């Protein structure tokens, strides 16, 4: 057992309020999440950037991945704000804490802080743990005392606390007292099954605080849809430690979402719980973590969702022209998000004018033009298009109406893709395109990992000689959606493609386009719709490269 340096011990961060993140431990229980060690390290870095005080990294000893994570985190990450926390259980019944290998693994992780989970519900002690109520209290006392004697800070998670308090309040309080008196710095009341409502949480937290004097924390699950409110209710009642997960990931419905909790504390309570400037990184960090865990960021997440400050109602659009603050509860820039006007068939001219302005087109002088754009958007949305997430395709539509001509750098004569699984097991993906550009007829063939990739390559092979700018462009995201519900493979398919030029031509288009929809700089999104995925992809690619060439400063030739 080596001495444990606390990497954050010299930092000035106030410790009177703990923002404790458990994405890497409890968040990983979410259906669909499966984290590698590299994923966990990447998330830990994002969380430290965001400035949380504590990062619970996992249960060292319980599985090789978590053990490795603590080893590598120690070597590879210099935390600027956060302290690393190991999660584990109290000692086994009938075994000394010093002799319990599970407890030894927690110490061996080198984590300066250890969260111990303890049973606080009498029925769980008897049925799940299968020991006596008295032995459970001894397990809490002994394990906390042992870890404290080894120089670690200890937090105790009282599992099923609220249900336990309802069933047997005296015993639940005994567990809190046992942890507190043995030296636990914080006793965390957990709504493990997530069934509580804010008023209940507030009442119980206040009662436990009055009865024990322990420093209390809250760990809320979202099964009633109230995890954020439950966390805030606990803070209102005196808790000074909040356990949350990024994007609310967690088992079943999920955990209290870190982002709305800290946003409420900072923006609504005026309580500084993050380093200065961190909140403005929130949207970026939320999306970055979603990418690491490989889940699409929730578009409707409070504060950080792409839709969180998006307006489409005509009523709102007219008022927003007068004063944006009339229709938003905070300035979205405070959380790193942006207001967006949505283009949809519910939008009237006012929305289209605002959107045009965002893209650099002044439509206010021409009511007919804005009306025609509204009509075309309605028509295309009926056919399955969506412009809300495809700003570049919308701009092409708008540009066509403004200039009165289609924006076209090349014209397709025909294309064909072949995907073949050969008897020898080899798979071949091939595409051929026949195009016209600058008066030339071009035939090109590409191979790829799939039919869309092959089509993409054939298109570039054919066009790069004429438009060398295409060499800088790259497909960076690709989404497929069946848009007509439950009609199987015979439905309409919509494809959204994001394309990047690596920032090469960033100056050529307005900055607002790049920031729109939560995308990165140097990226743009296009949409294609068709009877199948390949036809839809072709359209999205066509728009993607047409827009990319415009963006690179080229003027389309007149047909």
- Residues in 517-536 at the binding interface with its own copies, rule: CB under 8 A: 531-535
As measured in angstroms, the least distance from the Cβ of 314 to its own copies is: 9
Among 108, 197, 211, 402, binds its own copies (CB under 8 A): 197
**What does the per-residue mask of binding to its own copies show for 53-82, with x meaning CB under 8 A?**
------------------------------
CA distance 344 to 375: 10
Residue 358 or 388: the one with the smaller Cβ distance to its own copies is 388
Checking 510-516 for CB contacts under 8 A at 24+ apart, the result is 510/358, 510/359, 510/360, 512/358, 512/359, 512/360, 513/358, 513/359, 513/360, 513/391, 513/392, 513/395, 515/338, 516/338, 516/340, 516/358, 516/391
What part of residues 292-311 is at the interface with its own copies (CB under 8 A)?
294, 299-303, 305, 307-311
First to last CA, the chain: 77
How is residue 14 written in tokens?
A: 């106030």
Residue 183 C-beta: closest distance to its own copies, Å:
25
Cβ 184 to its own copies shortest distance, Å: 21
Dump strand ranges (E) for 385-540.
411-421, 427-437, 440-447, 474-482, 493-500, 523-530
Using CB under 8 A, pick the residue from 229, 274, 363, 463 that binds its own copies. 229
Q: Closer CB to its own copies, residue 335 or residue 369?
A: 335
Rounded least distance, CB 7 to its own copies, Å:
28
Chain-centre distance for alpha carbon 105: 31
Binding positions for its own copies, 104-163, rule CB under 8 A: 123-124, 127-128, 160, 163
**Looking at beta carbons only, is 82 or 377 nearer to its own copies?**
377
Select from 277, 326, 404, 439 the one that contacts its own copies (CB under 8 A): 326
Quick one: which of 1, 10, 32, 558 contacts its own copies (CB under 8 A)?
Answer: 32
User: At closest approach, how far in Å is the CB of 4 from its own copies?
Assistant: 26
Q: How far is CA 432 from CA 459, 469, 512, 541, 544, in A?
A: 8, 21, 37, 15, 19
Stretch binding its own copies (CB under 8 A), from 44-52, 252-260, 363-371, 546-554 = 252-260
Q: At 21, give phi and psi (nearest 5°).
A: -105, 135
In the complex with its own copies, the residue whose CB is nearer, 114 or 233, is: 233
Between CA 356 and CA 387 the distance in angstroms is: 13
Q: How far is the CB of 528 from its own copies (least distance, A)?
A: 12
Q: Does the protein bind its own copies through residue 330 (CB under 8 A)?
A: yes
Reading the block at residue 83, the tokens are: 């302290």
8 or 35: CB nearest its own copies: 35
Show contacts with its own copies in window 455-514 (CB under 8 A): 456, 474-491, 493
Closest C-alpha to 112, from 76, 74, 64, 66: 74
Q: At what angle do helices 282-292 and 37-50 cross, to 10 degrees?
A: 170
- Binding of residue 222 to its own copies (CB under 8 A): yes
Joined tokens for residue 293: 């865990």
The runs of H, that is alpha helices, within 35-93 are 37-50, 64-76
The distance of closest approach from Cβ of residue 531 to its own copies in the complex, given in angstroms and rounded to an integer, is 5
Q: Name which position in 253, 461, 506, 554 contacts its own copies (CB under 8 A).
A: 253
* Nearer to its own copies among residue 12 and residue 32 (C-beta): 32
Site for its own copies, residues 359 to 388, rule: CB under 8 A? 381, 386, 388
Does 193 bind its own copies (CB under 8 A)? Our answer is yes
Six token digits for residue 146: 């042992």
Q: Give the shortest CB-111-to-its own copies separation in angstroms.
A: 20
Is 106 within 8 Å of 61 (Cβ atoms)?
A: yes
Question: Measured from the CB of residue 259, what is the shortest distance to its own copies in angstroms?
Answer: 8
Q: Which is nearer to its own copies, 299 or 512 (CB)?
A: 299
Q: Which of 23, 230, 245, 286 binds its own copies (CB under 8 A)?
A: 230
Q: How far is the CB of 28 from its own copies (least distance, A)?
A: 7
Identify which range of 135-143, 175-183, 192-200, 546-554 contacts its own copies by CB under 8 A.
192-200
Q: Does 546 bind its own copies (CB under 8 A)?
A: no
- Give 212 or 417: the residue with its C-beta nearer to its own copies: 417
Helical H segments across 213-305, by residue range: 227-236, 258-263, 282-292
CB 356 within 8 A of CB 398: yes
Q: How far is the CB of 200 from its own copies (least distance, A)?
A: 8
> Residue ranges of the alpha helices (H) in 77-195?
101-108, 122-124, 133-149, 161-167, 169-181
Q: Does 260 bind its own copies (CB under 8 A)?
A: yes
Q: Which two tokens stand for residue 547?
A: 């827009």
Compute the least distance from the CB of residue 127 to its own copies, in Å.
Answer: 5
Minimum distance from residue 504 beta carbon to its own copies (Å): 17
- Check residue 168 for interaction with its own copies (CB under 8 A): no
Contact between 278 and 238 under an 8 Å Cβ cutoff? The reply is no
Site for its own copies (CB under 8 A): how many residues?
Answer: 119
Window 421 to 440, contacts with its own copies (CB under 8 A)? 421-423, 427, 429, 434
| Residue of 354, 378, 369 lying closest to 404 (CA atoms) | 369
* Interface pick for its own copies out of 85, 232, 278, 317 (rule CB under 8 A): 232
**At its nearest, how many Å lie between its own copies and the CB of residue 533?**
6
DSSP 295-306: -PPPTT-TTTST
| Distant-in-sequence, close-in-space partners of 401: CB < 8 Å, separation ≥ 6 | 369, 372, 373, 376
Site for its own copies in 37-56 (CB under 8 A): none
Strands 153-159 and 411-421: unpaired
Residue 242: both structure tokens together:
């909040």
Task: Return the closest-CA partner of residue 351 out of 320, 381, 380, 383.
Answer: 320
Residue pointed to by tokens 């295409």 = 470
């Amino acid at each position: 057992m080596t001495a444990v340096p606390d990497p954050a011990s010299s930092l000035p961060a106030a410790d009177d309020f703990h923002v404790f993140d458990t994405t890497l431990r409890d968040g990983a229980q979410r259906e669909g999440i499966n984290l590698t060690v590299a994923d966990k390290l990447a998330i830990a870095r994002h969380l430290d950037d965001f400035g949380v005080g504590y990062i619970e990294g996992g249960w060292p000893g319980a599985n090789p991945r978590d053990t490795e994570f603590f080893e590598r985190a120690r070597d590879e990450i210099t935390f600027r704000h956060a302290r690393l926390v190991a999660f584990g259980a109290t000692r086994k019944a009938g075994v000394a804490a010093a002799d319990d290998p599970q407890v030894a693994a927690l110490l061996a992780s080198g984590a300066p802080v250890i969260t111990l989970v303890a049973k606080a519900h009498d029925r769980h002690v008897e049925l799940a743990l299968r020991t006596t109520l008295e032995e459970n209290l001894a397990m809490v006392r002994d394990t906390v005392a042992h870890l404290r004697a080894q120089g670690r800070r200890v937090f105790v998670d009282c599992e099923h606390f609220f249900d336990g308090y309802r069933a047997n309040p005296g015993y639940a309080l005994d567990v809190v007292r046992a942890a507190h008196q043995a030296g636990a710095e914080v006793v965390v009341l957990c709504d493990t099954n997530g069934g509580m409502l804010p008023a209940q949480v507030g009442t119980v937290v206040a009662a436990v605080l009055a009865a024990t004097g322990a420093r209390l924390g809250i760990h809320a699950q979202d099964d009633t849809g109230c995890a954020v409110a439950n966390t805030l209710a606990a803070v209102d009642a005196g808790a000074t430690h909040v356990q949350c997960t990024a994007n609310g990931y967690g088992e079943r419905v999920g955990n209290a979402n870190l982002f709305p909790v800290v946003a409420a504390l900072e923006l609504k309570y005026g309580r500084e719980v993050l380093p200065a400037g961190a909140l403005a990184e929130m949207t970026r960090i939320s999306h970055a973590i979603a990418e690491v865990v490989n889940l699409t960021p929730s578009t409707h997440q409070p504060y950080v969702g792409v839709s969180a400050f998006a307006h489409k109602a005509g009523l709102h659009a007219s008022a927003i022209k007068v004063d944006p603050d009339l229709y938003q509860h905070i300035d979205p820039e405070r959380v790193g998000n942006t207001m967006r006007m949505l283009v949809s068939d519910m939008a009237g001219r006012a929305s289209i004018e605002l959107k045009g302005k965002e893209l650099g087109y002044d439509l206010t002088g021409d009511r007919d033009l804005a009306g025609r754009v509204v009509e075309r958007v309605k028509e295309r949305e009926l056919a399955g298009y969506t412009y809300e997430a495809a700003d570049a395709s919308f701009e092409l539509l708008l540009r066509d109406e403004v200039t009165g001509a289609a924006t076209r750098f090349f014209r397709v004569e025909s294309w064909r893709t072949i995907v073949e699984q050969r008897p020898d097991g080899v798979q071949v993906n091939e595409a051929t395109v026949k195009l016209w550009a600058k008066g030339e007829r071009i035939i090109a063939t590409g191979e790829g990992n799939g039919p869309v990739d092959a089509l993409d390559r054939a298109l570039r092979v054919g066009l790069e000689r004429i438009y060398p700018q295409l060499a800088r462009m790259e497909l960076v995201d690709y989404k497929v959606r069946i848009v007509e519900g439950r009609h199987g493979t015979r439905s309409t398919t919509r494809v959204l493609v994001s394309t990047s030029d690596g920032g090469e031509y960033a100056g050529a288009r307005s900055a607002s386009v790049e920031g729109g929809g939560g995308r990165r700089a140097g990226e743009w999104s296009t949409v294609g719709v068709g009877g199948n995925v390949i036809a839809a992809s072709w359209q999205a690619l066509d728009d993607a490269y047409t827009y990319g060439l415009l963006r690179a400063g080229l003027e389309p030739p007149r047909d």
